[in-house]
Amino acid sequence: MSKLNPRQSEAVKYIDGPLLVLAGAGSGKTSVITQKIAYLIQQCDIPAHRIVALTFTNKAAREMKERVSQIVKGKQARGLTVSTFHNLGLNIIRKELSALGLKNGFSIFDDQDSRTLLTELLHKDSEVGADEIGQVRNAISSWKNDLVSPSIAISRAADEEDMRAAHTYAQYDRMLRAYNAVDFDDLILLPSLLLRDNEDILEKWRNRIYYMLVDEYQDTNSSQYLLVRLLVGNRARFTVVGDDDQSIYAWRGARPENLAQLAEDYPSLKVIKLEQNYRSSGRILKCANQVIANNPHVFEKQLWSEHGYGDPIRVKRCRSEDHEAEKIAGDILNQHMQNKRPFKDFAVLYRGNHQSRLIELKMQQFQIPYKVSGGSSFFSRAEIKDVMAYLRVLINSDDDNAFLRIVNTPRRELGPTTLEKLGQYAQNRERSLFSVCCEMGLGEVLNTRQHSMLKRFHDWIEETRDNLQRGHAVAAIKQMLRDIDYENWLVEQSSSSKMAERRMENVWHLVQSIERMLEKSDDENDVESVISKLILLDILEQQKEEDDSDKVQLMTLHASKGLEFPYVFLMGMEEELLPHRSSIEEDNIEEERRLMYVGITRAKKELTMTYTAKRKQYGEEFEPTPSRFLDEMPQDDLAWEGRGEKKSKEESQALGQAHLSNLKNLFD
């Protein structure tokens, strides 16, 4: 612990009451949490299983666990909980199933599943656009994050549109329960409400937890705030750390006011501020401080650093988005070859996921290993999830979640009412949805047409399964895709025919993988094991740790929170991208500025920002305005490149020999 500065050390050792560490980026807040866990176990003899540390992402939780295990070895750390809020919620739900009215094997709906369900609910009356579905989805999510029940939402509705959304919310929740399912927001909402309304259960959980620590506290929403508050109780043994300037999840219900709320709820709250930054060069820090100074502040904090002043911050003007991607990739390659900088020391950050496409392409062209974090992996693509769901039902027809995903994809006129009745019928009998489809009893609750549709679907599944098990597996899968005319469905669902084509290619890629795996397997009919392997691969894919491999990291600004990299590229420094158009329209520049602050403070040694002179949108070319945030930076510390540049001489030099020789590899 000798490395900690006096204030950090005070924060680690203070265990007499509630503590808030409020400090800017890179000041060691996360380090305080990690060290404090070790201190509680080693110096205060608190059993590890009675300590709970909460973070916002799986990646952050993994990293924290890793850091703790370097200090606290073996048995001592056993039972320690370092998890995301959602994982803690899931644990509570699992242990309190009956009190929540859920059954074993309940399903968790991800965002896509929720949207599908809402589409079905809203399609009942009329054709509803994707926009409205998105809006209702967001409204429901906000209500859940703010602890607003359907009945309260209905009572508060101000106009017809609100009322429709609130009623959809009520119906959506009823459907979830009928399906024995919860959605992502429920993972926090349900435990919070359960603990609030049930003293015995609350007491049990309170007694289990001796000390709680929470990182990135500024991003807690109301239901997370309540959950922590309930769990720590009046004993209030907790440390939370945060930075109001890094609050970037308002759109997901985060309430940075929760920082101030703490002081009200816990009058004995101690506040420690940290001001030394251990991450960035003086210049990067100055730049960050100056930008964020444009936001109003409740808590004043000035960061300083003992690292050198560092190189100027580069701002590159590029001719087009293609040129921008090429410059970044070329620059990284150059630095890698000439200065022996490992690829993993570089990060490319952007405002929106769609911005990664071109840079990915260039990375591939230049053969630079890269990893897109937080973006969608192969298995999280809708079309792959669809086909995997079909396969899941084929090998386990009791997989209700997969059944629900496919029953109306493509549409089979099995509307929400039918499915609600089916869900109710199955739940009353504690059976799976598939298993009751053909029952006579169901015929009494459904009308003849609905019931025969379901039976037809059921029989088709049986027949396809037969083909899969008895015949040639890959041929059976291809036949299945033809039966449901999946290609046509993709055309209907995609915004362009190109996109539909790409998505169908992904499907063929999956089918080919199955084919290859079957070829390798000894038993020719081993399709079930191949598919379960794929499902497992899916789970692994989501949890895979790739951090130690040497790859350039590509991610959104949101996903970069809490992380640090020696060399950071920030692309698309343009009005309407950063700040984002929707925030400009809603006059919410402050949140964008915090995002900018997060981006700048990820960099340890060098920061490069890029913007383009021309960009294409919806096929139209336009000339973007450089981001206002560039004007807010200390101009003497910026080194502009490419302003007034006509064409490519400087550029081709910048790409350098290294890139050319690498390009040659492409043709070998």
Name the catalytic one among 29, 327, 594, 615. 29
Which two three-digit tokens encode residue 53? Answer: 């540390």
Instruction: Specify the residue, 468 or 555, whose C-beta has the smaller distance to Mg ion.
Output: 555
How many residues of this chain bind Mg ion (CB under 5 A)? 3
278, 299, 379, 460: which one binds ligand ATP (CB under 6 A): 278
> Rounded to an integer, what distance in angstroms lies between the CA atom of residue 576 and that of residue 420?
43
Smallest CA-to-CA distance from 190 within 264, 86, 294 is with: 86
Instruction: Specify the residue, 217 or 266, whose C-beta has the smaller distance to Mg ion.
Output: 217
Residue 29 known to be catalytic: yes
Residue 216 known to be catalytic: yes
- Phi then psi dihedrals of residue 545, to 5 deg: -100, 120
Which residues make Cβ contacts (< 8 Å) with residue 216, sequence separation at least 6?
55, 56, 60, 241, 242, 246, 561, 562
Site for ligand ATP contains 337 (CB under 6 A): no
Asked if residue 520 lies in contact with residue 313, where contact means CB atoms within 8 angstroms, the answer is: no
Instruction: Specify the residue, 251 or 278, whose C-beta has the smaller distance to ligand ATP.
Output: 278
Please report how close the Cβ of residue 253 comes to ligand ATP at its closest, in angstroms: 20
* 327 interacts with, out of Mg ion, ligand ATP, none, CB within 5 to 8 A per kind: none
Among positions 19-58, residues that touch ligand ATP (CB under 6 A) are 23, 25-31
Among 4-12, 176-184, 300-308, 369-377, the segment contacting ligand ATP (CB under 6 A): 4-12
5, 396, 435, 467: which one binds ligand ATP (CB under 6 A): 5
Amino acid type, 602: R
Which two three-digit tokens encode residue 55? Answer: 């973070």
Which residues make Cβ contacts (< 8 Å) with residue 300, sequence separation at least 6?
none
Which residues make Cβ contacts (< 8 Å) with residue 387, sequence separation at least 6?
481, 486, 507, 510
Site for Mg ion contains 35 (CB under 5 A): no
Site for ligand ATP contains 89 (CB under 6 A): no
Q: Which residues of 238-273 are buried (b: 16+ CB within 10 A; e: fewer)?
A: bbbbbbbbbbbbbeebbbbebbeebeeebeebeebb
> Rounded to an integer, what distance in angstroms lies between the CA atom of residue 440 and that of residue 424?
15
DSSP codes joined into one string, 417-466: HHHHHHHHHHHHTT--HHHHTT-HHHHHHS-HHHHHHHHHHHHHHHHHHH
Residue 215 known to be catalytic: yes
How many residues of this chain bind ligand ATP (CB under 6 A)? 19
Q: Is 274 helix (H, G, I), strand (E, B) or coil?
A: strand
Identify the residue whose tokens are 């995997």: 388
Task: Tally Cβ neighbours within 10 Å of residue 171.
Answer: 19
Residue 602 known to be catalytic: yes
7, 50, 144, 279: which one binds ligand ATP (CB under 6 A): 279
Site for ligand ATP contains 256 (CB under 6 A): no
7, 8, 92, 514: which one binds ligand ATP (CB under 6 A): 8
18, 89, 253, 562: which one binds ligand ATP (CB under 6 A): 562
Please report how close the Cβ of residue 78 comes to ligand ATP at its closest, in angstroms: 25
Instruction: Specify the residue, 3 or 449, whose C-beta has the smaller distance to ligand ATP.
Output: 3
Among 18-26, 332-340, 408-416, 447-455, the segment contacting ligand ATP (CB under 6 A): 18-26
Amino acid type, 10: E
Which two three-digit tokens encode residue 580? Answer: 């984002």
* 305 interacts with, out of Mg ion, ligand ATP, none, CB within 5 to 8 A per kind: none
Asked if residue 464 lies in contact with residue 480, where contact means CB atoms within 8 angstroms, the answer is: yes
Q: What letter does residue 101 receive in the DSSP assignment? A: T
Is there a cis peptide before residue 410, judged by omega within 30 degrees of 0?
A: yes
* 439 interacts with, out of ligand ATP, Mg ion, none, CB within 5 to 8 A per kind: none
* 8 interacts with, out of ligand ATP, Mg ion, none, CB within 5 to 8 A per kind: ligand ATP
Name the catalytic one among 113, 215, 331, 591. 215
- Helix 160-178 to helix 111-123 angle (10° resolution) is 120
Site for ligand ATP contains 424 (CB under 6 A): no
Amino acid type, 25: A
Please report how close the Cβ of residue 498 comes to ligand ATP at its closest, in angstroms: 39
Instruction: Specify the residue, 186 or 243, whose C-beta has the smaller distance to ligand ATP.
Output: 243
Asked if residue 608 lies in contact with residue 570, where contact means CB atoms within 8 angstroms, the answer is: yes
Which two three-digit tokens encode residue 650? Answer: 């400087």
> Rounded to an integer, what distance in angstroms lies between the CA atom of residue 18 and that of residue 4?
21
Name the catalytic one among 116, 246, 355, 608. 246
Instruction: Specify the residue, 30 or 401, whose C-beta has the smaller distance to ligand ATP.
Output: 30
> Rounded to an integer, what distance in angstroms lies between the CA atom of residue 412 and that of residue 419?
12
Which residues make Cβ contacts (< 8 Å) with residue 662, sequence separation at least 6?
333, 337, 366, 367
* 351 interacts with, out of Mg ion, ligand ATP, none, CB within 5 to 8 A per kind: none
243, 324, 574, 592: which one binds ligand ATP (CB under 6 A): 243
Asked if residue 371 lies in contact with residue 553, where contact means CB atoms within 8 angstroms, the answer is: yes
> Rounded to an integer, what distance in angstroms lies between the CA atom of residue 220 and that of residue 162?
25
Site for Mg ion contains 562 (CB under 5 A): yes
Among 3-11, 78-86, 223-231, 405-413, the segment contacting ligand ATP (CB under 6 A): 3-11
* 247 interacts with, out of ligand ATP, Mg ion, none, CB within 5 to 8 A per kind: none
Asked if residue 36 lies in contact with residue 12, where contact means CB atoms within 8 angstroms, the answer is: yes
Site for Mg ion contains 242 (CB under 5 A): no
Instruction: Specify the residue, 244 or 324, whose C-beta has the smaller distance to ligand ATP.
Output: 244
Name the catalytic one among 317, 602, 615, 628. 602
Site for ligand ATP contains 304 (CB under 6 A): no
Instruction: Specify the residue, 29 or 67, whose C-beta has the smaller distance to Mg ion.
Output: 29
* 28 interacts with, out of ligand ATP, Mg ion, none, CB within 5 to 8 A per kind: ligand ATP
Site for ligand ATP contains 373 (CB under 6 A): no
Asked if residue 414 lies in contact with residue 457, where contact means CB atoms within 8 angstroms, the answer is: yes
Among positions 13-32, residues that touch Mg ion (CB under 5 A) are 29-30
1, 4, 613, 638: which one binds ligand ATP (CB under 6 A): 4
Residue 30 known to be catalytic: yes
Q: What letter does residue 18 receive in the DSSP assignment? A: -
Name the catalytic one among 7, 8, 30, 35. 30
Please report how close the Cβ of residue 611 comes to ligand ATP at its closest, in angstroms: 24
Among 2-10, 76-84, 164-172, 314-322, the segment contacting ligand ATP (CB under 6 A): 2-10
Name the catalytic one among 113, 173, 183, 216. 216
Among positions 598-637, residues that touch ligand ATP (CB under 6 A) are 601
Asked if residue 296 lies in contact with residue 256, where contact means CB atoms within 8 angstroms, the answer is: no
Shortest Cβ contact with Mg ion: which residue?
Answer: 30
> Rounded to an integer, what distance in angstroms lies between the CA atom of residue 291 and that of residue 519?
58
Among 1-9, 114-122, 454-462, 536-544, the segment contacting ligand ATP (CB under 6 A): 1-9
Cα atoms in the 13 Å half-sphere on the side-chain side of 519: 6
Cα atoms in the 13 Å half-sphere on the side-chain side of 375: 21
Site for ligand ATP contains 220 (CB under 6 A): no
Q: Which spans of this chain sit near ligand ATP (rule: CB under 6 A)?
A: 3-5, 8, 23, 25-31, 243, 246, 278-279, 562, 564, 601
Q: Which spans of this chain sit near Mg ion (rule: CB under 5 A)?
A: 29-30, 562
Catalytic positions: 29-30, 215-216, 246, 602
